Structure 1
């Protein structure tokens, strides 16, 4: 059976991870475009992470966490 197509919903209810990402991004003084450029993804990918519509790969999660100077566990734990 093929996996479902479309966005991958993040596992946390209520978008808690997205709120933590958004907060950390703002504390770092980055715009959505600034973070997207730093981690080499589109702004739409950052928006999807912040709204909880996209769960990033481990590799991308590590890049985001490093860019925001946070442990991965603080953002997605």
Structure 2
């Protein structure tokens, strides 16, 4: 499973789901699903999100070890 810090980063950067979605070219529902862990982003979307926050991929997304 892929985990992410998108929700906390949005709060830190004072971005709504809608604003982030517009900046990276997806719907608000996609961002909401991503934050809840119901959606695994494409590599392109992941890179766009990281670029918005000026962070490396591993600072935003990480793979949780399967049990």
TM range, normalised to the smaller chain? 0.7 to 0.9
How many residues are matched?
A: 62
| Residue of structure 2 equivalent to 1:66 | 51
User: How many angstroms apart in 1 are the aligned matches of 2:13 and 2:56?
Assistant: 14
Please say if 1:52 is aligned against 2:37.
Answer: yes
Tell me which residue corresponds to 2:65.
none
> What is the TM-score with the length of structure 2 in the denominator?
0.85
Instruction: Give the gaps of 5 or more residues in structure 2.
Output: 63-67
Identify, as 1 or 2, the structure richer in strand. 2
The structure that has the greater radius of gyration is 1
Q: Equivalent residue for 2:28?
A: 43
Please report the TM-score for the alignment, with normalisation by the length of structure 1.
0.75
Structure with more contact order per residue of length (Cα contacts < 8 Å, sep ≥ 6): 2
Moved over 3 A (4+): none
Superposition deviation, residue 76 in structure 1: 0.8
